[in-house]
Chain A
Amino acid sequence: MSDGRPLPPALELRGIDKRFGAVHANRAISLAVARGSIHGLIGENGAGKSTVMNIVYGFHQADAGEILVQGRRVELRSPQAAIAAGIGMVHQHFMLVDNFTVLENVVLGVEDGPVLAGGLARARAALEQLGRDYGLDVPLDTVVSELSVGLQQRVEILKALHRGAEILILDEPTAVLTPQEADQLFRMLGRLRAQGKTVILVTHKLREIMAVTDRVTVMRQGAVVAEVATRDTSPRDLAEKMVGRAVLLTVEKGPARPGEVLLEVKRLAVCDDRGVPRIKGVSFALRAGEIIGLAGVAGNGQSELLEALAGIRAPSGGQILLRGTDLVGGAVDPRARRRLGLAHVPEDRLRRGVVAGFSAQANSILGYQDRAAYNRGLLADQAAILAGCERQMATYDVRPPNPRLRLTAFSGGNQQKLVIARELEADPQVLLVGQPTRGVDIGAIEFIHRQLVALRDAGKAVFLVSVELDEILGLADRILVIAGGEIVGELARADATEERLGLMMAGVKEAHA
Chain B
Amino acid sequence: MSAPRKLPRWADLGLLPLVSLAAALLVSCGVIALLGESPVQAMRLLVSGAFGSPEAVGYTLYYATNFIFTGLAVAVAYHAGLFNIGCEGQAYIGGLGTGLVCLGLGHLSFWLVLPAAVLAGAAFGGAWALIPAWLQARRGSHIVITTIMFNFIAAALMTYLLVNVLINPGQQSPETREFAAHAWMPAAGDLPGRLGAAFATSPLNLSFVLALAAAAALWVYVWRTRWGYELRVVGQNPAAAVYAGISPGRITVVAMVVSGALAGCLGLNELMGSQHRILIDFPSGAGFVGIAVALMGRNHPVGIVLAAVLFGALYQGGSQLTFDLPRINRDMVVVIQGLVILSCGALENLFRAPLARLFGRVDSK
A interface residues (Cβ-Cβ under 8 A, vs B): 20-22, 310-312, 333-338, 344, 346, 351-358, 362, 365-367, 369-370, 374-375, 378-380, 382, 408-409, 411
**Does the CB pair A338–B237 fall under 8 Å?**
no
In the complex, how many angstroms separate the beta carbon of B334 from the nearest chain A beta carbon? Answer: 33
Please report the C-alpha to C-alpha distance between residue A216 and residue B228 in the assembled complex, in whole angstroms: 53
**Does the CB pair A355–B240 fall under 8 Å?**
yes
Residue of A nearest to B239 (CB): A352
Please report the C-alpha to C-alpha distance between residue A365 and residue B226 in the assembled complex, in whole angstroms: 10
Contact of A336 among B1, B237, B245, B364 (CB under 8 A): B245
In the complex, how many angstroms separate the beta carbon of A126 from the nearest chain B beta carbon? Answer: 36
**Does the CB pair B245–A338 fall under 8 Å?**
yes
Residues of A within 8 A of B245 (CB): 311, 333-338, 367
Can you add 5 more A-B contacts, CB < 8 Å, to A20-B3, A357-B236, A380-B225? A22-B365, A333-B247, A355-B240, A357-B237, A411-B365
Q: List 15 A-B contacts (CB under 8 A).
A: A20-B1, A21-B364, A310-B243, A335-B245, A336-B245, A353-B240, A353-B243, A354-B240, A355-B236, A355-B237, A355-B240, A362-B229, A365-B229, A367-B243, A369-B229
Please report the C-alpha to C-alpha distance between residue A493 and residue B70 in the assembled complex, in whole angstroms: 63
**Does the CB pair B239–A351 fall under 8 Å?**
yes
Residues of B within 8 A of A382 (CB): 224
**Does the CB pair B3–A367 fall under 8 Å?**
no
Residues of A within 8 A of B220 (CB): 379
Please report the C-alpha to C-alpha distance between residue A369 and residue B241 in the assembled complex, in whole angstroms: 11
In the complex, how many angstroms separate the beta carbon of A29 from the nearest chain B beta carbon? Answer: 20
Please report the C-alpha to C-alpha distance between residue A20 and residue B1 in the assembled complex, in whole angstroms: 7
Residues of B within 8 A of A353 (CB): 240, 243
Please report the C-alpha to C-alpha distance between residue A344 and residue B245 in the assembled complex, in whole angstroms: 11
Residues of B within 8 A of A355 (CB): 232-233, 236-237, 240
Residues of B within 8 A of A358 (CB): 232-233, 236
In the complex, how many angstroms separate the beta carbon of B4 from the nearest chain A beta carbon? Answer: 8
B201-233 interface bits toward A, Cβ cutoff 8 Å, 1 = contact, 0 = none: 000000000000000000010001110011011
Contact of A346 among B225, B243, B247 (CB under 8 A): B243
In the complex, how many angstroms separate the beta carbon of A385 from the nearest chain B beta carbon? Answer: 10
Residues of A within 8 A of B1 (CB): 20
Count B interface residues, CB 8 Å: 25
Task: Determine whether B244 belongs to the interface, using a CB cutoff of 8 Å to chain A.
Answer: yes
Q: A22-B365, A336-B245 are in contact. Are A374 and B226 (CB under 8 A)?
A: yes
Residue of B nearest to A358 (CB): B236
In the complex, how many angstroms separate the beta carbon of B159 from the nearest chain A beta carbon? Answer: 41
Select the residue from A310, A353, A357, A366 with max chain B CB neighbours within 10 A: A366
Residue of A nearest to B234 (CB): A355
Contact of B233 among A312, A335, A366, A374 (CB under 8 A): A366
Residue of A nearest to B244 (CB): A367
Please report the C-alpha to C-alpha distance between residue A338 and residue B246 in the assembled complex, in whole angstroms: 12
Residues of A within 8 A of B239 (CB): 351-352
Please report the C-alpha to C-alpha distance between residue A365 and residue B229 in the assembled complex, in whole angstroms: 10
In the complex, how many angstroms separate the beta carbon of B298 from the nearest chain A beta carbon? Answer: 14
In the complex, how many angstroms separate the beta carbon of B251 from the nearest chain A beta carbon? Answer: 13
B234-276 interface bits toward A, Cβ cutoff 8 Å, 1 = contact, 0 = none: 0011011011111100000000000000000000000000000
B32-45 interface bits toward A, Cβ cutoff 8 Å, 1 = contact, 0 = none: 00000000000000
Contact of B2 among A21, A338, A351, A378 (CB under 8 A): A21
Residues of A within 8 A of B230 (CB): 369
Residue of B nearest to A348 (CB): B239
Please report the C-alpha to C-alpha distance between residue A375 and residue B247 in the assembled complex, in whole angstroms: 20
In the complex, how many angstroms separate the beta carbon of B12 from the nearest chain A beta carbon? Answer: 12
Please report the C-alpha to C-alpha distance between residue A355 and residue B233 in the assembled complex, in whole angstroms: 7
Please report the C-alpha to C-alpha distance between residue A333 and residue B1 in the assembled complex, in whole angstroms: 39
Task: Determine whether B325 belongs to the interface, using a CB cutoff of 8 Å to chain A.
Answer: no
Return the 3 tightest CB-CB contacts between A and B, nearest first.
A335-B245, A21-B3, A334-B245
Select the residue from B225, B237, B243, B246 with max chain A CB neighbours within 10 A: B243
**Does the CB pair B226–A370 fall under 8 Å?**
yes
In the complex, how many angstroms separate the beta carbon of B254 from the nearest chain A beta carbon? Answer: 15
Residues of A within 8 A of B247 (CB): 333
Residue of B nearest to A338 (CB): B245
Residues of B within 8 A of A335 (CB): 244-246
Please report the C-alpha to C-alpha distance between residue A481 and residue B239 in the assembled complex, in whole angstroms: 28
**Does the CB pair A334–B242 fall under 8 Å?**
yes
Residues of B within 8 A of A337 (CB): 245
Residue of A nearest to B245 (CB): A335
Please report the C-alpha to C-alpha distance between residue A374 and residue B229 in the assembled complex, in whole angstroms: 12
Task: Determine whether B157 belongs to the interface, using a CB cutoff of 8 Å to chain A.
Answer: no
Select the residue from B3, B242, B244 with max chain A CB neighbours within 10 A: B244
Residues of A within 8 A of B3 (CB): 20-22
**Does the CB pair B243–A409 fall under 8 Å?**
no
Q: A354-B240, A366-B233 are in contact. Are A21 and B365 (CB under 8 A)?
A: yes
Task: Determine whether B362 belongs to the interface, using a CB cutoff of 8 Å to chain A.
Answer: yes
Residues of A within 8 A of B237 (CB): 351-352, 354-357
Please report the C-alpha to C-alpha distance between residue A265 and residue B224 in the assembled complex, in whole angstroms: 39
Contact of B365 among A365, A366, A409 (CB under 8 A): A409
Residues of B within 8 A of A375 (CB): 226
Please report the C-alpha to C-alpha distance between residue A15 and residue B341 in the assembled complex, in whole angstroms: 47
Residue of A nearest to B226 (CB): A369
Residues of A within 8 A of B240 (CB): 351-355, 366
Please report the C-alpha to C-alpha distance between residue A379 and residue B229 in the assembled complex, in whole angstroms: 11
Q: A356-B236, A356-B237, A409-B363 are in contact. Are A380 and B224 (CB under 8 A)?
A: yes
**Does the CB pair A408–B243 fall under 8 Å?**
no
Please report the C-alpha to C-alpha distance between residue A375 and residue B246 in the assembled complex, in whole angstroms: 17
Please report the C-alpha to C-alpha distance between residue A446 and residue B239 in the assembled complex, in whole angstroms: 28
Please report the C-alpha to C-alpha distance between residue A369 and residue B362 in the assembled complex, in whole angstroms: 33
Please report the C-alpha to C-alpha distance between residue A338 and residue B220 in the assembled complex, in whole angstroms: 27
In the complex, how many angstroms separate the beta carbon of A46 from the nearest chain B beta carbon? Answer: 14
B1-15 interface bits toward A, Cβ cutoff 8 Å, 1 = contact, 0 = none: 111000000000000
B272-294 interface bits toward A, Cβ cutoff 8 Å, 1 = contact, 0 = none: 00000000000000000000000
Within 8 A of A (CB), among B281-339: none
Please report the C-alpha to C-alpha distance between residue A357 and residue B229 in the assembled complex, in whole angstroms: 13
Residues of A within 8 A of B232 (CB): 355, 358
Please report the C-alpha to C-alpha distance between residue A498 and residue B229 in the assembled complex, in whole angstroms: 45
**Does the CB pair B236–A334 fall under 8 Å?**
no
Please report the C-alpha to C-alpha distance between residue A285 and residue B232 in the assembled complex, in whole angstroms: 37
Residues of B within 8 A of A374 (CB): 226
Residue of B nearest to A362 (CB): B229
Please report the C-alpha to C-alpha distance between residue A478 and residue B246 in the assembled complex, in whole angstroms: 33
**Does the CB pair B229–A312 fall under 8 Å?**
no
Residue of B nearest to A412 (CB): B365
Residue of B nearest to A344 (CB): B243
Please report the C-alpha to C-alpha distance between residue A299 and residue B1 in the assembled complex, in whole angstroms: 30
Please report the C-alpha to C-alpha distance between residue A409 and residue B224 in the assembled complex, in whole angstroms: 24
Residues of B within 8 A of A365 (CB): 229
Please report the C-alpha to C-alpha distance between residue A362 and residue B231 in the assembled complex, in whole angstroms: 13
Residues of A within 8 A of B362 (CB): 21
**Does the CB pair A379–B225 fall under 8 Å?**
yes
Please report the C-alpha to C-alpha distance between residue A409 and residue B364 in the assembled complex, in whole angstroms: 8
Residues of A within 8 A of B244 (CB): 334-335, 366-367, 369
Residues of B within 8 A of A310 (CB): 243
Please report the C-alpha to C-alpha distance between residue A22 and residue B240 in the assembled complex, in whole angstroms: 27
Please report the C-alpha to C-alpha distance between residue A375 and residue B224 in the assembled complex, in whole angstroms: 10
Please report the C-alpha to C-alpha distance between residue A335 and residue B226 in the assembled complex, in whole angstroms: 13
Please report the C-alpha to C-alpha distance between residue A409 and residue B365 in the assembled complex, in whole angstroms: 6
Please report the C-alpha to C-alpha distance between residue A413 and residue B163 in the assembled complex, in whole angstroms: 66
Please report the C-alpha to C-alpha distance between residue A311 and residue B246 in the assembled complex, in whole angstroms: 11
Residues of B within 8 A of A379 (CB): 220, 224-225
Select the residue from A333, A344, A382 with max chain B CB neighbours within 10 A: A333
